[in-house]
Amino acid sequence: MTGIGQGRQGRNRPDGSAVALSEAYDTALLDLDGVVYAGGLAIPYAVEALGTARAGGMHLAYVTNNALRTPDAVAAHLTELGIPAEPGDVITSAQAVARLIADELPPGSRVLLIGGEGLRVALRERGLVPVESADDDPAAVVQGYGGPELPWGRFAEASYAVARGLPWYASNTDLTIPGARGIGPGNGAAVEVVRIATGAEPKVAGKPLPPMHRETVLRTGARRPLVVGDRMDTDIEGAFNGGVDSLLVLTGVTDVAGLLAAVPEHRPTYVSADLRGLLVAQPEVVATAGAEGAFRCGGWTASVSGGALVVEAVGEAGEIGEAAGGALDPLDGVRALCAVAWTAAGAGACGLDAGKALGRLGLA
């Protein structure tokens, strides 16, 4: 583990950790959709992994850009899934945007609400008055995820108010949200509707922006936090902006090809297939002696050849072949490929072809 400083400069490889991440960090700041559950159902291994991490002394906090549900409802849902949680363990973008509005408007201000119950409760918690119509004399407009049943007319209502010059706030701008049946449109897609209609730009509170990090720090008091998420453009970038370490899990919207092409602010400290990564040490990624731009992790080496990323298994004596002692972990190959791709990309995004390398790992 190299600590939080390197992340501000943009890392060129995933870090290793000699001890389990649940021992190295005091608090896990966990995203929910695509990390703990999808479409309301627990993601495989999440319940068991989080239970083990908690039993070992790690504090678990759930930090979500989904503004639809209240912390009480989220905590109850987690508990039903077998993950005991209290409302105080849940931090939402609804809470962050409500604090942002309350900092800028007088107490008792009316706010046109475009979203669900989680946003309504958060506004009231901050002494604001949610209203339903642009004709209810609101002082501002706030937009948060309202679920798939949110009527189209709510976007029109927001557009009318924003076009009149009212300040416009958004809980978050995630374009998509994972569900039980696949990836659906998120609040960011709904925000785009109003942006297109009005030409205006909202003030955004959720990850990866500072208001959400501020809300999380205020509510958790974490001293050595680890951000755990599935989205590079919110979870990982939010950790980068906050100067803290991060674990990307591949159970949500990010695939390996996207990870290899990550720009510096989207590169996680660690990578894991799922939340079981909290419970184990993380392997080191090391430069291969005598081979410029090549890296090794576990039983895999990665390099560049002919404008493409290449990954190969390395035998016990160093020759290419099958690893001694059984099957290799494809994720070690991914970590080695990340090092090659991120080093080659520098401050940009890697454009090297990864198709054959991912096929070699069984991930194409």
- Which residues belong to the active site? 31, 33
3-state SS, residue 90: strand
What is the maximal distance between C-alpha atoms in the chain?
75
The HSE-up count of residue 177 (CA atoms within 13 Å, CB side) is 26
CA distance 103 to 83: 34
CA-nearest of 309, 314, 321, 313 to 357 is 309
Q: Is the distance from CB of 322 to CB of 350 less than 8 angstroms?
A: no
Q: Is the distance from CB of 140 to CB of 113 less than 8 angstroms?
A: no
Strand partners, 62: 30, 90
Token pair in block for residue 210: 């500072």
CA distance 351 to 266: 15
